[in-house]
Amino acid sequence: MKKALSAPTVTVSDLPALQRRTSAVLIASQILGGLGVPIGIALAPVLATEVSGSEALSGLAPTASVAGTALLSLPLAALMTSRGRRPGLVLAYLIGAVGASLVVLATVVDSFPLLLLGMAGFGAGSSANLQARFAAADLAEPDRRGRAISTVIWATTIGSVLGPNIAAPAGRAFRDTAIPETAGPFVWAAAIFLLTGLVVAVLLRPDPLLTARALAPAGTQTAANRSLRAGVAAVRASPMARLALVTVAVSHTAMVSIMVMTPVHLGHHGAGIQLIGLVISGHIAGMYAFSPVMGWLADRFGRLSVIGLAVGLLSCAALLAGTAGSSHGRTAAGLFVLGLGWSAGLVAGSALLTDSVPQPARAAVQGLSDLTMNTAAGIGGAVAGVIVSQWSYSWLNVVGACLLLPMAALALRRVLTKPTAVADGASDEASDGPAEVSLSTGASDKP
């Protein structure tokens, strides 16, 4: 049966080709966006220290970026809910370009408040990259959502690994100009965000979210079912959705809190911008390069198994980085494993969240998820600067490891209660994987 869209009419038989096209466009946007976002990760603490003159405030610049990502999550989710994925992603990249431009202006006029405002806008680029993973899942089969999400996350690897390493040459291009070398890479980031927005605006058609809605059962796609209130209600009604929300938030917070202060820690031990860029590149490779493995594991062995893996990897990362001292190699190894743990948590948590709520409420729930994870990470980033300035980088890693305890406890509780729930005939919210009607076959993915 055909369902009409505002775009060309799509049938379920068209879905495989449409999913491949959607994935290709999202992969291209992630590669481009990945060139811009890591520049802020690598240089924001350094710029904050230079402009403010205080190392204690160095964590506020990346925190402002994370806060901007969080603040934009719900407005972007609301826009996507009403208009589709494409307008929300395009707007996010445009805001990111404006933010990067403000960062450059702030360094020229030596204004710390303007720098924070610019970093908040810059965070919109991260918001777009994060939301793209859910766009990849809109048309994916339930038993392939982990791989669909992870493939788009993986695409960020190329740009993210190259991004920090072009920071130094991009900065040198502005030598002997009014723009400081450390701000030069943000000019590059602004141009990249504009190009990425253009790619999404032109090529992401038909819109994957609107297509999924058009193919959903009649009567389910009401305004009330798509509201933020419906999203909150869906999370409250599903233990698995709550676990997914905690997993994504804790994994992201632990990663951001440790990662944002690593450039400052390396600087204390004589590392220059080139070495800092290499360490951050290795960290980002851990975040993105192995995400297809995490997606395959989540689809093959279940979301809970990969959440447990995330706890183990993040704990190991805190141990390595926290005991590194002046060893740049040990710090780099810790940051790489930190990226792996983040990847496991984000992929498994995002897939579990999508599995656990009804299709009409998904966009709202996904926006709520990004709001929660980035708000928590913003607080974590701000506190991280204080912890390092007052105590040490080692203590920061201890605190990061302690953050994992609630996530581990909730996951263990679901593992222990799952057999009973399934035996009692509970729905998919008590199980460790998708159990819903397939778009393409109409068959249940679980007996």
Alpha-carbon dihedral angle through residues 247, 249, 252, 253, given to the nearest 10 degrees: -120
Q: What is the 3-state secondary structure (H, E, C) of the chain?
A: CCECCCCCCECHHHHHHHHHHHHHHHHHHHHHHHHHHHHHHHHHHHHHHHHHCCHHHCCHHHHHHHHHHHHHHHHHHHHHHHHCHHHHHHHHHHHHHHHHHHHHHHHHHCCHHHHHHHHHHHHHHHHHHHHHHHHHHCCCCHHHHHHHHHHHHHHHHHHHHHHHHCHHHHHHCCCCCCCCCCCHHHHHHHHHHHHHHHHHHHHCCCCHHHHHHHCCCCCCCCCCCCCHHHHHHHHHHCHHHHHHHHHHHHHHHHHHHHHHHHHHHHHHCCCCHHHHHHHHHHHHHHHHCCHHHHHHHHHHHCHHHHHHHHHHHHHHHHHHHHCCCCCHHHHHHHHHHHHHHHHHHHHHHHHHHHHHCCHHHHHHHHHHHHHHHHHHHHHHHHHHHHHHHHCCHHHHHHHHHHCHHHHHHHHHHHHHHHHHHHHCCCCHHHCCCCCCECCCCCCECCC
Amino acid at the residue 415: V
CA distances 379 to 159, 254, 318, 385, Å, are 27, 11, 18, 10
C-alpha 228/C-alpha 417 separation (Å) is 29
Phi, psi of 389 (to 5 degrees): -70, -35
- Compute the Cα dihedral for 416, 419, 423, 428 and give only its sign: positive
Phi, psi of 436 (to 5 degrees): -150, 175
pLDDT by residue for the chain (447 residues), tens digit each?
Answer: 344 444 456 666 777 888 889 989 999 998 888 777 767 666 777 788 888 887 777 778 877 887 888 888 878 888 888 888 999 999 999 999 999 999 999 998 999 999 999 999 998 888 888 888 888 888 888 788 888 888 888 887 776 667 666 766 766 777 777 788 778 888 888 988 999 999 999 999 899 988 888 876 655 555 555 666 777 888 888 899 999 999 999 999 999 899 888 888 887 777 777 788 788 878 888 888 899 999 999 999 999 999 999 999 999 999 999 888 888 888 899 999 999 999 999 999 999 998 888 877 888 888 888 888 888 887 887 788 888 888 888 899 999 999 999 899 999 888 887 654 433 333 344 345 544 434 543 333 333
Residue 89: count other Cβ atoms within 10 Å of its Cβ. Answer: 29
Amino acid at the residue 50: E
Amino acid at the residue 47: L
Beta bridge partners of 3: 10
CA distances 439 to 13, 171, 299, Å, are 9, 49, 17
